[in-house]
């Protein structure tokens, strides 16, 4: 039986695997300036944690993934400007956010990233 830490590491690795593969296959072909985002995820005024966020482009390709810190903050790196969709995945069932935010097909967390975007405040309903 896996302990909780091993399980969390396995989940994080599985979440980052598509990002690693896309970096290896694309290899920096984009000429657009990439953006580093800081952000915070809150639900009912409280930070969402522990967990992670994933950021996808409009075609559903993962662009970045970031852990949620104790205060609900995250830092996502190397995001090209454009339309993105975000999913939030808490690692604890004690964070009762809607399942719609956890699935790319149902998440309505969509944002336009510009070269001057440097922060996302994500407030879940």
Please list, in sequence order, all residues whose beta carbon lies within 8 angstroms of the beta carbon of residue 17, skipping any fewer than 6 positions away. none
CATH of the domain at 9: 2.60.40.10
Structurally, the chain folds into a number of domains equal to 1
Whole-model pTM over 0.85: no
pLDDT of residue 28: 47
Q: If we measure between CA atoms, which residue out of 15, 70, 11, 68 comes closest to residue 38? A: 68
Better pLDDT: 4 or 77: 77
pLDDT tens, residue by residue, 5-26: 665 665 666 566 555 555 544 4
Segments forming the whole domain that contains residue 62: 4-124
Residue closest to 39 by CA, chosen among 75, 66, 64, 67: 75
* Positive or negative torsion for Cα 3, 43, 54, 40: negative
Per-residue pLDDT tens over the stretch 32-86: 799 999 999 999 999 999 999 999 999 999 999 999 999 999 999 999 999 999 9
């Amino acid at each position: 039986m896996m302990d909780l830490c091993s399980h969390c590491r396995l989940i994080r690795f599985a979440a980052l695997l598509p990002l690693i593969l896309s970096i290896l296959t694309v290899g920096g072909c984009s000429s657009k300036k990439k953006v580093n985002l800081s952000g915070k995820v809150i639900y009912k005024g409280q930070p969402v944690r522990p967990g992670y966020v994933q950021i996808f482009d409009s075609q559903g390709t993962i662009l970045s993934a970031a852990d949620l810190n104790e205060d609900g903050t995250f830092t996502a790196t190397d995001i090209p400007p454009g339309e993105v969709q975000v999913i939030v995945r808490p690692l604890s069932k004690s964070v009762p956010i809607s399942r719609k935010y956890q699935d790319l097909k149902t998440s309505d967390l969509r944002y336009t990233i510009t070269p001057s975007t440097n922060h996302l405040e994500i407030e879940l309903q």
